[in-house]
Amino acid sequence: MDPLADPGEEIQRLTAERDEMRDRFMRALADAENARKRADKERRDAEQYGGTRLARDLLPVYDYLHRAIDAVPEDQRGANAALLEGVELTLRELGNVFGKHGITVLRPEVGSKFDPQLHEAMFEAPLPNTVAGDIIQLMEPGFMIHDRLLRPAKVGVSSNRIS
């Protein structure tokens, strides 16, 4: 400190330095808080969506089990009752595991409106007594994991312009 310096100037310099340090400190606190929030969000996302790749890999298993059940003709269901029961139990258990991990099946009803956020149109057809945009056939169910789409439901959509 220069003894010949004006005390008022020295006070102004120290005040400016203090204000700059306070500003830097407040920015560092805000950065630390933002980093904490970001890390917390990433942790929550990892908990909820960390199994997304595995879940996508299991979706065909769900489809194949359904196809196996549907492939048995009605007249042969009695003769294959034990096998069918085993496949149905396996499918039910897979559904339970999906539910435990926040995976839900999307099975849009015939007649409901097509939603491009949830459905994939596989074809359009002019079906009588339907309105354009109505789902006319469910070809393959879709799946959600919590609030994210894993796979869209594959549907047929009406192309009628007249109801």
pLDDT in tens, 85-107: 999 999 999 999 999 999 999 99
Of 68, 86, 101, which closes a domain? 101
Token pair listed for 158: 């009406």
Number of domains observed in the structure of the chain: 3
Same domain, residue pair 66 and 44? no
Strand pairing class (119-125; 135-140):
unpaired
Residue 67 shares a structural domain with residue 94: yes
Co-location of 96 and 114 in the same domain: no
Do 120 and 94 lie in one domain? The reply is no
d(CA 46, CA 26) in angstroms, rounded, equals 30
Residues 145 and 161 occupy one common structural domain = yes
Containing domain of residue 92, as a range?
54-101
Residuewise pLDDT in 10s, the chain (163 residues): 566 668 888 899 999 999 999 999 999 999 999 999 999 999 998 888 888 999 999 999 999 999 999 999 999 999 989 999 999 999 999 999 999 999 999 999 999 999 999 999 999 999 888 899 999 999 999 999 999 999 999 999 998 865 4
Same domain, 156 and 112: yes
CATH of the domain at 157: 2.30.22.10
Judgement on whether residues 154 and 114 belong to the same structural domain of the protein: yes
Please tell me the distance from the alpha carbon of residue 17 to that of residue 30, in angstroms, as a whole number: 20
pLDDT digits (tens, 9 = 90+) for 116-126: 999 999 999 99
